[in-house]
Amino acid sequence: MKVTLVWTGGASKGFASVGEGMEGGWIGHGIAMLSACAKAAGFAVDLIDRRALRGWDEFRSEVARRRPDVIGFTMLSVDYDDVMREVELAKDAHPNAITIVGGPHPTIAPDEVAANSKIDHILMGEGEISFVEFLRQVERGETPPRVIQGQRPDLDALPFADRDLYLQEWAQRGYVVVSPEAPLCPELPPPFVTIIAGRGCLYNCSFCKPAEDLLFGKKVRRRSVGHVVHELKVLRDKYHFNSMMIHDDCLTEDREWVREFCDAYRSGGFTQPFFCQARVDNVVQHEDMIRLMAGVGLRGLFLGFESGSDRVLRFIRKGTTRAINLEAARVCRKYGISIWANYMLGLPTETPEEVRETVSMLKEIDPDYYSPAFYTPYPGNDLYSYCEEHHLSLIERHEQLNRNPNSMKIRGHDPQVLFWALEESQRRTLPNRVKRGASHYWRRYASPRKIVRKARQLMGI
């Protein structure tokens, strides 16, 4: 039985964008895991990656050429319209194919997805176990239920993500990729890979919960350190990676796991730099853990500062303060860790003065990388419900459900204020520009290592 999985892109740049930054150059771990599990069960699996195609006509022709028995789609909320179009084209090109759609949006909004009669089955929640069982039922000639509730797997019992599913498809479409995934920044040299060590989040931010609980449950389930390090050894042998990113929502919430991982990473001979995501309060409360991580290769943290206003932080249930945000930045600077600053402008109830507080906080933090967003009311969380109750949402099409700060997402804000804040928050102060310039030239021309090397060259040693 032939299975084709479809990667729509999750708000990517769309067609013909393979290798173009994170959106065009990262794999989808959900599909890569489904492929690995299906292949382990003996099924033939291939991929249609929309980023590797030239347009919709080519998508349709690929389905017609491959004629899979089952076509599986994954859907973020922002992908809804494109996935629906893909389903229509797939059924038109190959009417006998069985379609199944899974991912975050079908899990939090199954009725909306089920309204399309050309979607034969919907898989809610985690799919590794249930997708394989679904394929077995189809192979036996049985008819699975239309809506399937996924079973939560033992993460250590799963195979490693099938990265070759993407790499082989990219190569077949004529893309020359020198890194398994596109590196984020200069601190992460290619070849670069991403991994996921666990699923779920312990915290209660209103812009995430309870949607995340519907996907993964209320508890965090994390792979054993041994399982993660084994995967890294496989990736090192196969791809010779020089850097990596750990995707977990908040790797630093489990202090003991991190300590064990750092020991195993070092003893495994790994020196590759890596980035991961963390909460600012974890950074402040466990500075010794951050020091340990920096000692084995941590070069950057994705930190959700979100706002510079204490009132707004309380409103979104972040559990942090402006002072904690600033202290976390200080800890990162102390250990040479780059800061990837995630923050939102235009949150519900936020005043212009509170927007300015976020701008002033960013100037004080002086992050290495800015990642601003205009607050977007994603379905399935409490802040979305608040926006619906107060008639705040300006979202008219699913494609607007991206975090890009290119348009207003809710009512109640002055666009001039938000677009000013977007630009001003990323404008470094003169002292920070001078300091960064001096640091750059020191690293480039005056570091002790380079001075010694230059001296040796002059002396002919």
pLDDT higher than threshold 70 for residue 441: no
Q: Do domains 2-157 and 184-427 have the same CATH topology?
A: no
pLDDT higher than threshold 90 for residue 449: no
pLDDT higher than threshold 60 for residue 108: yes
Tell me the pLDDT band of 438, cut-offs 50, 70 and 90.
Answer: confident
Helix (H) or strand (E) holding 45: strand 44-49
Fold (CATH) for 2-157:
Rossmann fold (3.40.50)
Mean pLDDT of the region 128-157: 98
pLDDT in tens, 381-433: 999 999 999 999 999 999 999 888 999 999 999 999 999 999 999 999 888 88
pLDDT at 460: 59
pLDDT at 9: 81
pLDDT higher than threshold 60 for residue 458: no
Instruction: Report the C-alpha gap between 308 and 280 in whole angstroms.
Output: 13
Instruction: Report the C-alpha gap between 106 and 215 in whole angstroms.
Output: 10
Higher pLDDT, 105 or 434: 105
Helix (H) or strand (E) holding 5: strand 2-7
pLDDT higher than threshold 90 for residue 241: yes
* 341, 367 contact by CB (below 8 A): yes
Sheet with strand 98-102: strands edge to edge: 44-49, 2-7, 70-74, 98-102, 121-124, 147-149
In order of 80, 103, 112, 373, the CA distances from 209 in angstroms are: 20, 16, 20, 18
pLDDT at 228: 98
Mean pLDDT of the region 261-271: 98
Domain map (residue ranges) of the chain: 2-157, 184-427
Instruction: Report the C-alpha gap between 403 and 10 in whole angstroms.
Output: 11
Tell me the pLDDT band of 447, cut-offs 50, 70 and 90.
Answer: low
pLDDT at 227: 98
Q: In this structure, what token pair is assigned to residue 436?
A: 């960064």
Q: In this structure, what token pair is assigned to residue 308?
A: 């510079």
What number of CA atoms fall less than 13 Å from residue 39's CA on the CB side?
19
Tell me the pLDDT band of 11, cut-offs 50, 70 and 90.
Answer: low
Angle made by CA atoms 58, 63, 69, in degrees to the nearest 5: 170
pLDDT at 245: 98
Mean residue pLDDT of the chain comes to 94
pLDDT at 10: 63
Termini Cα distance of the chain: 65
pLDDT at 193: 98
Instruction: Report the C-alpha gap between 291 and 300 in whole angstroms.
Output: 12
Tell me the pLDDT band of 362, cut-offs 50, 70 and 90.
Answer: very high
In order of 62, 71, 187, 226, 293, the CA distances from 369 in angstroms are: 39, 38, 12, 32, 20
What number of CA atoms fall less than 13 Å from residue 131's CA on the CB side?
35
Angle made by CA atoms 127, 128, 134, in degrees to the nearest 5: 75
* 8, 79 contact by CB (below 8 A): yes
Neighbouring residues of 70: CB distance < 8 A, sequence distance ≥ 6: 1, 2, 3, 4, 97, 98, 99, 100, 135, 138
Higher pLDDT, 69 or 438: 69
pLDDT higher than threshold 90 for residue 319: yes
Higher pLDDT, 177 or 30: 30
pLDDT higher than threshold 60 for residue 451: no
pLDDT at 432: 83
pLDDT higher than threshold 70 for residue 455: no
pLDDT at 38: 98
What's 184-427's CATH class?
Answer: alpha beta
Instruction: Report the C-alpha gap between 243 and 297 in whole angstroms.
Output: 9
Please state whether beta strands 221-222 and 198-199 pair in parallel, antiparallel, or not at all (unpaired): antiparallel
Tell me the pLDDT band of 376, cut-offs 50, 70 and 90.
Answer: very high
pLDDT higher than threshold 70 for residue 450: no
Our measurement of the distance from residue 290's CA atom to the centroid of its chain's CA atoms, rounded to an integer in Å, reads: 22
Mean pLDDT of the region 183-201: 96
Closest CA to 252 of 281, 209, 273, 212: 281
pLDDT higher than threshold 90 for residue 363: yes
* 368, 300 contact by CB (below 8 A): yes
pLDDT at 436: 79
Instruction: Report the C-alpha gap between 133 and 114 in whole angstroms.
Output: 21
What number of CA atoms fall less than 13 Å from residue 142's CA on the CB side?
9
Share of the chain above pLDDT 70, in %: 94
Tell me the pLDDT band of 456, cut-offs 50, 70 and 90.
Answer: low
pLDDT higher than threshold 70 for residue 448: no
pLDDT at 136: 98
Our measurement of the distance from residue 378's CA atom to the centroid of its chain's CA atoms, rounded to an integer in Å, reads: 15
pLDDT in tens, 325-359: 999 999 999 999 999 999 999 999 999 999 999 99
pLDDT higher than threshold 90 for residue 22: no
Helix (H) or strand (E) holding 334: helix 322-334
Share of the chain above pLDDT 90, in %: 89
Decide: helix, strand or coil at residue 339.
strand
Tell me the pLDDT band of 13, cut-offs 50, 70 and 90.
Answer: confident
SS (H, E, C) 248-300: CCCHHHCHHHHHHHHHHHHHCCCCCCEEEEECHHHHHHCHHHHHHHHHHCEEE
Helix (H) or strand (E) holding 236: helix 225-239
pLDDT at 442: 58
Our measurement of the distance from residue 447's CA atom to the centroid of its chain's CA atoms, rounded to an integer in Å, reads: 35
pLDDT at 440: 60
